[in-house]
Structure 1
Amino acid sequence: MADKDLHLSQPSLDLGVPQWDQSTRRLDLGVPRWNQSTFIGRFKHFLNITDMRLGVCSDKELEDARNLLNKYRLGVEPPGTTEEQLWYAQKLYMSAFHPDSGQKQNVFGRMSFQVPGGMILGGAMLTFYRTMPAVVFWQWVNQSFNALVNYTNRNAASTITNKQIGMAYVTATSSALLVAMGFNSLTKKTPPLVARYVPFVAVAAANCVNIPMMRQQEVLHGITVYNEQGQELGKSKKAANKGIVQVILSRISMTVPGMCGLPIVMERLLRYNWFRRATWSHVYFQTLASGAILILMVPVGCALFPQKASIAVDKLEPDLREEIYNKYGNAIQRVYFNKGL
């Protein structure tokens, strides 16, 4: 049987609540280990799969994990396989394979790389914000990274061409640079603390452009919505817009404590002569502090909204709403979709 027939990404009826098959007492490993209808459950799940140590797992480890899960689904797992081995295999699978397509993701675009990637870029942007060349360079690098993450974690059911990817990248990067340069110019005569917020303003603005552009097919043509049983009902632009807004808010929330809190900490530390003289330590301090904050904030940001998002049927486009009512009556009140990350 081909891999595409075995991957664990089919829409699930239980909305992410792990279940035992009551007849065979076997785990449903196609859904997360923790209840995804609660924030705590989602936080535990994303804390699990955004573990930066997963980024150094070999291709063999990842393939072995997928193979074990596939064998378990078929009931032919190796004798003596433990529950913890299965949960660990699920952790590896969900950290590295796309939830829609089942394809292995680029290692730099995986959520497990968000902490080390964001740590390096956050530390650099917060340190090198004074000169225009430095602002331009680090915003360009950051938006290149964001574009890769957005593309890697897009809803794979919506295809996007290389031309559209290029346009999204150029538009988002340009917007970030324009905002950064404009805000940088405005802060020339302001208190030093205000100037330190240039990176955050630029990153927040770019996210508002980068994510919708990278997912423009969903904005233009809609995203596939399902009923509770995972049956496809059609495509909805309104569902796509809701998912994209949630992803934007999640991404911005990840950066708030570091990019808004560290500037205040830095200004206070600079009151001490020993810290002010040790300029070489500033980038290391801000980089490590950014990393420590992101270890918590990446799963918090991802957990703000359910991965399998929903929208009320009466909020859908009139034609799709009418089609669902004609076919199912009032039996379906909400529809579900993968909002992406």
Structure 2
Amino acid sequence: MSNIDLDKPRYDQSTYTGRAKHFLRLTNPLNVFASDKDLDEAKKIVNEYRRSRRMPSGYDADKLWEKKYLYDSAFHPDTGEKMFVLGRMSAQAPMNTLITGGMITFYKTTPATVFWQWLNQTFNALVNYTNRSGDAPISTTQLLASYCAACGGALSTALFLNSKVKNMPPIFARLVPFAAVCGANFINIPMMRSNELMGGTPVFTPAGDRIGESKRAAQLGIMLVCISRTCMALPGMTLTPILTNIATKRGMFCKSPMMVIPFQLGLVGLCVVFATPLCCALFEQQASIGVDKIEPELQNVVKRKCPSCKVVVFNKGL
């Protein structure tokens, strides 16, 4: 019999290092190239181990965890269904590299700005829908409203700022896409999770006893996700324009102007591959909030169920 618990992450989630290791494996872009045969085998191995608690023949702990992370990268945690490939976390790095690269390369004309901001928000909507919670499904109306609001927020921010930076140094224009993405994040994420804001998110004692649904915990979780998503975009969408601006001033692209495109894509890709998992790891997945900060009626439930508890925990989302 084995003592490995596949229902919990392999690494200590109370430390940043442990969370970073977990998300580096979960968002590994190489997983997007796994065949259906490999994914189905991973699902079979994980399910058999959960049922029997016996190590499969020819497997050790490392190989078992490898299959588990491959399984987690492709199958929905609530429904168990295989997710659409472009909506998986493993597709974040390659897709965001292309989209972010496009946004910061083709930013000078209004049609290009509209197209790349629209494509970015369409991809975000796909990711949010693919990774939706099975316990609190996103309605078509909610998804459409969030999509339209995020597109509108990103486009209006980008077009407004573009009109203001025309007479400023080029570096300011290059940073406009980042400002637009930040604005869209703070619209898109709260709207996609508006059911939590209105009805609350489940909160538990540290021992796992359910207390109820807290709107204040939902507000905290959504704020933390907005911060981490903004931090994810920060390196690729700020360092890349700054370094490109420096390289352009030094004449690196005078002889081959089109070389700026692979130059920027390379920088963005490098940033995104590491920024995605490292920023997911900024906050614990199981976040905590002080008992004195939740709703009064829930405080009474905590006092009754767990008088010694100073905090309650909840899933903040990604």
Q: Which interval holds the TM-score relative to the shorter structure?
A: over 0.9
* 1:323 paired residue number: 301
Aligned residue identity for 1:158 = A
Work out the CA distance in 2 between the residues paired with 1:192 and 1:203. 19
* 1:247 paired residue number: 225
1:216 aligns with 2:207: no
Work out the CA distance in 1 between the residues paired with 2:19 and 2:149. 32
The alpha-carbon deviation at position 267 of structure 1 amounts to 1.3
Work out the CA distance in 1 between the residues paired with 2:220 and 2:76. 21
Aligned residue identity for 1:192 = P
Identity of aligned residues (%): 44
Q: 1:95 aligns with which of 64, 68, 73?
A: 73
Aligned residue identity for 1:116 = P
Work out the CA distance in 2 between the residues paired with 1:274 and 1:42. 39
Work out the CA distance in 1 between the residues paired with 2:58 and 2:244. 54
Work out the CA distance in 1 between the residues paired with 2:222 and 2:133. 10
Aligned residue identity for 2:245 = E
Work out the CA distance in 2 between the residues paired with 1:265 and 1:87. 39
* 2:27 paired residue number: 50
Work out the CA distance in 2 between the residues paired with 1:277 and 1:181. 31
Contact 2:2 2:55 (C-alpha < 8 Å) held by counterparts: no
Could you tell me the TM-score, scaled by structure 1's length?
A: 0.88
The aligned runs of 1:164-175 (5 Å cut-off) are 164-175=142-153
Contact 1:126 1:196 (C-alpha < 8 Å) held by counterparts: yes
Gaps of 5+ in 2: none
1:112 aligns with 2:90: yes
Q: How many residues are paired up?
A: 317
The alpha-carbon deviation at position 82 of structure 1 amounts to 1.9
Relative to structure 1, is the Cα distance of residues 307 and 105 closer, same or farther in structure 2, using a 3 angstrom cutoff? farther
The alpha-carbon deviation at position 330 of structure 1 amounts to 1.0
Aligned residues: CA RMSD: 1.7
The aligned runs of 1:69-218 (5 Å cut-off) are 69-75=46-52, 78-218=56-196
Contact 2:185 2:229 (C-alpha < 8 Å) held by counterparts: yes
* 1:37 paired residue number: 14
The aligned runs of 1:61-76 (5 Å cut-off) are 61-75=38-52
Cα displacement string for residues 306-325 of structure 1 (whole angstroms, at most 9, x for unaligned residues): 11212222211112222232
Q: 1:284 aligns with which of 251, 256, 262?
A: 262
The aligned runs of 1:225-264 (5 Å cut-off) are 225-264=203-242
Q: 2:292 aligns with which of 314, 317, 327?
A: 314
The alpha-carbon deviation at position 121 of structure 1 amounts to 0.7
The alpha-carbon deviation at position 68 of structure 1 amounts to 1.2
Contact 1:71 1:77 (C-alpha < 8 Å) held by counterparts: no
Following TM superposition, where does structure 1 have runs of at least 4 consecutive aligned residues deviating by more than 6 angstroms?
Answer: none
Contact 2:31 2:70 (C-alpha < 8 Å) held by counterparts: yes
Relative to structure 1, is the Cα distance of residues 79 and 332 closer, same or farther in structure 2, using a 3 angstrom cutoff? same
Cα displacement string for residues 255-277 of structure 1 (whole angstroms, at most 9, x for unaligned residues): 11111111111111112335134
Work out the CA distance in 2 between the residues paired with 1:98 and 1:333. 33
* 1:28 paired residue number: 5
Cα displacement string for residues 180-205 of structure 1 (whole angstroms, at most 9, x for unaligned residues): 00000000111111111110000000
Aligned residue identity for 1:282 = V
SS at match of 1:273: coil
| The 10-residue stretch of structure 1 (331-340 or 170-179) with the greater mean CA deviation from structure 2 | 331-340
SS at match of 1:27: coil
Work out the CA distance in 2 between the residues paired with 1:64 and 1:25. 20
The alpha-carbon deviation at position 332 of structure 1 amounts to 3.0
Contact 1:96 1:107 (C-alpha < 8 Å) held by counterparts: yes
* 2:37 paired residue number: 60
| The 10-residue stretch of structure 1 (166-175 or 254-263) with the greater mean CA deviation from structure 2 | 254-263
Aligned residue identity for 2:175 = Y
1:333 aligns with 2:310: yes
Aligned residue identity for 1:263 = P
